[in-house]
Amino acid sequence: MLGHIMTSRILLQTTIPPSQDDWSIDRFSLLASLLRDQRDESEQPLFEVTARDRDPLGTNDSVLATLDRTDYDELWLFAVDIGNGLTEADRRGIDAFRARGGGVLIARDHMDLGCSVCDLASIGAAHHFHSHNIDPDAPAVRDDPFTLSISWPNFHSGANGDFQQLDIVEPVHPVLRDPSAAGGSIRFLPSHPHEGAVSAPPGARARVIARSRSKATGAAFNIAVAFESDGDAGRAIAQSTFHHFADYNWDPRVGAPSFVDEPPGDGMLRQAEALAATHRYARNVALWLAKAD
């Protein structure tokens, strides 16, 4: 029983300026609506959501660079840039935000997409890219054999619009609990043709909480890493791809940027359980980052 909890203020933000033909924040509108609709047992809103893109590239972002001095409780950062999406001041603001106890989710994608997050304290080390913070324990090989313009890491969990089944790492983490599901845990998230690579950094209070398997090669890969609050930083999640939260992956009928040319699936539309699990995961993450689990 949750009872009444304080409304958590969530910032959903991308690392690119507004763009009609890219993964701008407008393409995460279903997530924003879902979080805004969540209520506690007293029918009070659980979350107040602000959704924005970053300020022009080459300038310090007016919100991220001062994030520790705002009244936000959580940052969900969708790193959709090609390496230039965060300035040093932006990273300092995010680090200071976590240092004061703010909750952070960082989601990136394949190859070097989103590599501007690498220099974030602690959580940056959880994200591995093609030419930044390369995973020393993983082979430098292409997993997705279909989109040849994208190299490793690019784990093929299925088509956009379809879903994948998760391998839960015991003990079940709070963000993966679902009493209404068989086995009591979330088993599905949206799939994506080329997910990125995440791991738990040595020495951090962090662990892998969910894995999946490539539908192309059968290779296992990490889906999410959870960082516990350690007195020096708030809770955090490192996610293998922002596509777990994108409108196109929840409902492919809404369309995608013009450079996306892989044919979509329709599994999320056909399987209500997969969409319900995805919604539950987003809600759980928001509650856990707000320390309201």
User: Which residues sit opposite 51 in a β-bridge?
Assistant: 12
Tell me, what's the pLDDT at 4?
Answer: 56
Q: Containing H/E element for 250?
A: helix 247-250
For the domain spanning 8-289, the CATH number is 3.40.50.880
Given phi > 0 = left and psi -120 to 50 = alpha, else beta, which region is 43?
left
Residue 196 in tokens? 């990125």
Interacting residues of 276 by C-beta distance below 8 A, sequence separation 6+: none
Tens digit of each residue's pLDDT (9 = 90 or more) over 41-51: 999 999 999 99
pTM, full prediction = 0.97
CA distances 176 to 50, 73, 100, 223, Å, are 24, 21, 25, 12
Q: Domain map of the chain by residue range?
A: 8-289
Query: Confidence band (pLDDT; 50, 70, 90) for 293?
Result: low
Closest C-alpha to 223, from 179, 260, 192? 192
Q: Where are the beta strands (DSSP E) in the chain?
A: 8-14, 47-52, 74-78, 103-107, 127-128, 163-165, 167-168, 188-190, 197-198, 206-213, 220-227, 236-239
How confident is the model over 50-94, as pLDDT tens digits?
999 999 999 999 999 999 999 999 999 999 999 999 999 999 999
Rounded mean pLDDT, 259-276: 97
| Beta carbons within 10 angstroms of residue 39's beta carbon | 10
Q: What is the pLDDT of residues 139-192, one digit of tens each?
A: 899 999 999 999 999 999 999 999 999 999 999 999 999 999 989 999 999 999
Q: Is the pLDDT of residue 1 over 60?
A: no
